[in-house]
Amino acid sequence: MGIITLTTDLGYRDFYLAAVKGSILNLLPQTQIIDISHSISAFNIAQGAFIIRNAYAYFPKKTIHLIGINTDYTAEPEFIAFQYKDHFFLGPDNGIFSLICDEIPEKMVEISGTSVSKVLHFPLLEILAKSACRLLEGVDLNDLGISRNEWSKKVHLKPVLGPGYIRGTVIYIDDYQNVITNITRKEFEERVKGRFLIRFKRNETINKISYHYGEVPEGEKLGLFGISDHLEIAINKGKAAGLLGLRMDDTVQIDFEEFTR
């Protein structure tokens, strides 16, 4: 039997997550259910998108990714299913998929029955989980609903690329309190050819890119491009966000013009 991953903002304290898993196993007992994360801040689709975008490609092809974040985003929510890079995704059409995928997929449907979702209390269980099980049973994607060629859009916050600087923002803080920015490795390597300074709160600076956390002594700060290919600010064996006073949406700037003239 195939794999269903779950990414939600349900948390672990209540019975909701168990109900979703139980409903899947009741329909298809051999299903492998893999948790990506259920610690997404309530309704935070940007945070959820970042996690899914950086996780899904490591799963086998044909994996079904079930997303339940901000499912009641409107009085009459719509739910979509699509195939993208040989993976299947199901979730609310609240803009999250435009943050996960680089392009609109060729095969996408609005799941049938979502027009009655306003009378359903738990669409993740009552609509999405059941549709995921149908896919695992071999039902064609097109049989889940009506064909769509667009989805609701959200926009990634892009770094500012100025003369001699890249100004980014903090977009994610992980459980180790590593601080992840929206500055990508590609943007850095295309523009920074010599010496540079990474500047952030409290007049802190970093002047080199490390390859791993242990490259500096314990307690020292560092900058590196991690598995997400985004610039991270970290402290070896320490909690960078708290110790450096960095929070979501704070500015992180790379200055390089003054060193490369």
Q: Which fold is adopted by the domain 3-147?
A: Rossmann fold (3.40.50)
For residue 260, the model assigns a pLDDT of 45
Residues of the chain with CATH 2.40.30.90: 160-260
For residue 259, the model assigns a pLDDT of 52
Q: What is the pLDDT of residues 55-91, one digit of tens each?
A: 999 999 999 999 999 988 887 889 999 999 999 999 9
Q: Which positions ≥6 away from 259 have C-beta within 8 Å? A: 194, 195, 196, 197
Q: What is the pLDDT of residues 222-253, one digit of tens each?
A: 999 999 999 999 999 999 999 999 999 999 99
Query: What is the rounded distance in angstroms from the CA atom of residue 167 to the CA atom of residue 177?
Result: 21
Tell me the pLDDT of the chain (261 aa) as tens digits.
Answer: 799 999 999 999 999 999 999 999 999 999 999 999 999 999 999 999 999 999 999 999 999 999 999 988 887 889 999 999 999 999 999 999 999 999 999 899 999 875 554 546 788 998 999 999 999 999 999 999 999 999 999 988 899 999 999 999 999 999 999 999 999 999 999 999 999 999 999 899 999 999 999 999 999 999 999 999 999 999 999 999 999 999 999 999 999 975 544
Residues of the chain with CATH 3.40.50.10790: 3-147
Q: Which CATH code fits 160-260?
A: 2.40.30.90
End-to-end Cα spacing for the chain:
60
Write down the pTM of the prediction. 0.88
DSSP letter (8 states) at residue 40 = P
Ramachandran angles phi, psi of 197, nearest 5°: -130, 130
List 108's β-bridge partners, or say none: 82
Q: Which two tokens stand for residue 122?
A: 């738990």
Q: Which of 196, 191, 128 minimizes the C-alpha distance to 163? A: 191
Q: Is 178 exposed, middle or buried (0-12, 13-18, 19+ CB in 10 A)?
A: buried
